[in-house]
A and B are shown apart, each in its own frame.
Chain A
């Protein structure tokens, strides 16, 4: 009982010191550890205590406010030292305390490499009893080994981060007395990490203390903090990064915190600070609102266009939306700059303006504004040091430097976002020629080079852990291996594979011969020697190559693009890197370059996030910081807070140039006069036979759909419904596309109609066509008739299934895209080789295995098309025929051949050389009047201005994609007026697709997410089946 009471008293004693809030269990545990000595128990608890105990504790000596000299205790302190009282104590009374070697006092003088940040008073807390400390005594600082404390930290569960807190204890001791006390937590927190790394040192003197110390007495210290000059000079090298990675996600950086505590105020404040990040109260009145968005001519195109499915299942931002979001630059006031002599063509005034603008942005340091503008996330401090040093501190990363961090130090370059067709390529070529001082890397930037070179894995802002995970396994060696010095290189242009040839051709065509050397870095056998690659003035490569060299483990030894320090890197179609976590995005960021450019007509394709990747590539600060970007821009934007958008616009304003076809020059004239584009919708009617067929198919599909609706399983059968729609849409192109599908058995009552349709052609269905391995196929057919099975490549229900000679079933598109070659390849299932002719359109019933050649008949749409082509034939005008189904392109080849139209074909199965060849042939061969083209092949960048007519055979779900394909024709270089005809079959799903599209653009996208989207989709699907 007596012991029990004793324990209660002890607990009460401890409580009295530490405050009522201290949990009893903790106190008892501490007492136990301390052998029932309350004093030691208090010490133990204090060591593990996170919160600042002074506030809570009824301390006999309230802490004086920092910076105010307090005399209260000095009076009672006798200057006489009484060593009698002190037992001989070892310098480091606790084994866990490690002395810091660099902390030996040096009489206040900072020394050459130590710069005085400032001297402050701080109130230390005594942790000992009975020792004496005199004013003027030198104190040294020490801190425990975190490992030991971390284990001890377990004694207080339920305190997250305790281990790390407890390692933030910093003690002070004197040579005579050993440990005397500890310094306040907030000081320890920022001093410790810096002390441990030797970045700062602290020298302390006792200013005043009670005559005889007892626990929790205040000991007033005068502390001078010095920063090591190497931290400022060498900060760009990778040494401090390792530690930074650990605190990556936290926004606590010791150095800024230390500055704050020291009372050092910046004489120049950072424009953006972490506080903004959390309060989001950044005033925005300085932000300029964007220029009013100007509607594109293509606007009317969209109004009349139908369909809105994006094959990727994502909404795409259309041009005019884009203009609303990011604004159009008013560049009319820009100066013009004449292109260098080596450029073999005339630039239009707006192109000269772009050249001037680009060169200004590239000038970087010599560009006055940028040079004298403090980088937005750095602050400038005057140190107390006598040498009158100015130190710049990055408030986000905690980095310090003595070099003036100007705005352009990091971002040299920008985004050339002129609308498609204004000639971004030629403007870029002009820039390459105007300033291509290959290998001349200014010393001013050499520090940055180091950073970039060493910073591969350290992508300064790692938005998510995923980035690390993604990057590490496959570029592991890059992080560990010592860097070989980078070889200075010239210009690197990264573009999609389809544009490689065009870039080369344009550079060759527009430069005086011999002015620049070009090298195309592409293909399996591309050389890896950096010295070889770096020799050329201009190196062309693809995103694929960049990504593969980035992920290739041995790329450092092998050289390649990553062992070169590029003078300039240009990303063409830069939206390719839009998803910030993708390998290609990471790969692009990791390229080492002095100047960086993004060329894109669509800086935002789907999401505002797209532009983050561009900023990250361009080194636009502070927006490389994902957390900052997300908090200040992305989230407000998504929540409808317009400040997010305005902020983006203000960031973009200085670094982006975006004109469109409606931009005007100084005199208000349009900068570019393109021949007019006439877009019209051609409504066609189905023939009677076709109509019967379509109606039967429609009824059939509707019954199925209605069943799904009744069962409430629309979304569970989404794929089936899309397939029903697909069939209806294909039927509008040509019934053969439906007949050739595998599951005609399901539509058995269509047999008669189908026959009738075929009879309209040349006679009976030919059922006896020689089908290889018939018996074998029958088995597959059985399965097919049951309606199950899935394509082994896309794992979906078959779409336009074909049978290989080895009787494996795959979607036609899946199979063809798995082939390297357009006409032949291996069976993906059994690796048997075959050619395209060997493929059998999956049959269910022999009667419907149509030999399309023998049974050929034109559909009404094809009739329409042929009529149009016939009109154009004599004029020699070239046409492009777009369809989204290569099977339809196959069909179209039949009538074109029969009508003696010579044609070329461009689809996804062609490789780079083949594409180039096709485009060249079509552009140059006068006899080729028609180009058959699939949407996917025609998406990006290709210049087809040789054609002045486009026929869009079937509506796409996504008008932006359609628009982009058409813009291949209606762009700079087009001399004739352009005619675009879109075919829509009246009274069919095609017509209703347009209505749905008007209602909602994002209809029928791939993955299903939230309930609202679902119900909206069901409504839209119902419209299609109405």
Chain B
């Protein structure tokens, strides 16, 4: 019943996400609440997260698409732009949101963020410092975390 109020845009996006999923990304709406999505992103190749399966949750607020979706990592991840609660520092999720963006583009951006961590705009100070001070070691930690927490088991 409550889902009947779902804007057509969300319905369309959902259909497309399900019918033509983006490579390495899966997003499916919860049955009870079509605004809540369970998301899985595969760690991009050649990144420290390669081989990992990362779970995220995505929620479309009432104002969507005029307001950005809320996205959070559920899987622990060692990344300078993602904090320990899984919150993501990504401009398009904040002030750079545009209604022309979609769930798909948001998730692709997050996937890209995994490929290109940006320690200069950190959300997690410690990890960012680590990254800057000793990138090799930080990447190793990220790989280790991927193995520990995101190995898909």
Contact = CB atoms under 8 A, between A and B. Distances in A.
A96 to B, nearest CB: 29
A470 B65 contact: no
Contact of A312 (B5, B13, B32, B59): B5
A780 to B, nearest CB: 15
Given A465-B32, A473-B59, A792 B100 contact: yes
Interface string A569-580: 000000000011
B61 interface: yes
B33 A469 contact: yes
A1006 interface: yes
Interface stretch (A292-300, A404-412, A793-801): A793-801
Contacts of B61: 551, 583
A828 B98 contact: yes
A466 B32 contact: yes
A939 to B, nearest CB: 16
A474 B59 contact: yes
A607 interface: yes
Interface in B96-135: 96, 98-100
A869 B65 CA distance: 39
Contact of B33 (A466, A474, A607, A793): A466
A465 B1 CA distance: 14
B57 A473 contact: yes
A464 B32 contact: yes
B136 interface: no
Interface residues of B, number: 28
A370 to B, nearest CB: 32
Given A580-B2, A793-B65, A473 B12 contact: no
B8 A1007 contact: yes
Nearest to A584: B62
Interface string A790-824: 00111110000000000000100010011000000
A810 B65 CA distance: 14
A337 interface: no
Contact of B12 (A553, A581, A795, A826): A795
B46 interface: no
Nearest to A820: B66
B59 A314 contact: no
A845 interface: no
A475 B70 CA distance: 12
Interface string B63-107: 001100010100000000000010000000000101110000000
B19 interface: no
Given A474-B59, A547-B62, A579 B98 contact: no
A583 B62 contact: yes
Contact of A831 (B36, B72, B98): B98
A473 B72 contact: yes
B62 to A, nearest CB: 6
- The CB with the most chain A CB atoms within 10 A, among B1, B8, B57, B99, is that of B99
A582 interface: yes
Contacts of A476: 85
B98 A826 contact: yes
A1007 B5 CA distance: 9
- The CB with the most chain A CB atoms within 10 A, among B12, B57, B65, is that of B65
Interface string A535-568: 0000000000001000101000000000000000
A948 B15 CA distance: 48
A829 interface: yes
A795 B9 contact: yes
Contact of A314 (B4, B9, B11, B70): B4
A458 interface: no
B100 A794 contact: no
B100 A793 contact: yes
B57 A795 contact: no
Nearest to B63: A544
Interface in A297-322: 312, 314
A795 B8 contact: yes
B149 to A, nearest CB: 18
A814 B11 CA distance: 17
Contacts of A384: none
A829 B30 contact: no
A36 interface: no
Contacts of A553: 85
Contacts of A547: 62
B11 A469 contact: no
B98 A581 contact: no
Contact of A818 (B1, B4, B11, B99): B99
A796 B9 CA distance: 8
A205 to B, nearest CB: 50
A337 to B, nearest CB: 39
B80 to A, nearest CB: 20
A609 interface: yes
A584 B5 CA distance: 14
B36 A469 contact: yes
Contacts of A810: 100
Nearest to A1005: B4
Contacts of B100: 792-793, 810, 828-829
B99 A793 contact: yes
Contact of A473 (B4, B62, B70): B70
A553 B70 CA distance: 12
Contacts of B32: 464-466, 469, 581
A868 B99 CA distance: 41
A25 B12 CA distance: 52
Contacts of B11: 1007
Contacts of B12: 795-796
A540 B12 CA distance: 37
- The CB with the most chain A CB atoms within 10 A, among B5, B13, B57, B70, is that of B5
Contact of B5 (A314, A795, A826): A314
A863 to B, nearest CB: 37
B99 A582 contact: no
Contacts of B98: 818, 826, 828-829, 831
A581 B65 contact: no
Nearest to A547: B62
Given A469-B33, A795-B9, A609 B99 contact: no
Contacts of B30: 466, 469
12 contacts: A314-B4, A469-B33, A473-B57, A473-B72, A474-B70, A551-B70, A579-B5, A580-B2, A609-B1, A817-B66, A831-B96, A1007-B4
Interface of A: 312, 314, 464-466, 469-470, 473-474, 476, 547, 551, 553, 579-584, 607, 609, 792-796, 810, 814, 817-818, 826, 828-829, 831, 1006-1007
Q: What are the 5 tightest A-B residue pairs by CB atom distance, in nearest-first order? A: A466-B32, A828-B100, A466-B33, A792-B100, A581-B2
Given A474-B59, A582-B2, A818-B98, 7 more contacts: A464-B32, A466-B2, A547-B62, A579-B2, A792-B100, A810-B100, A1007-B6
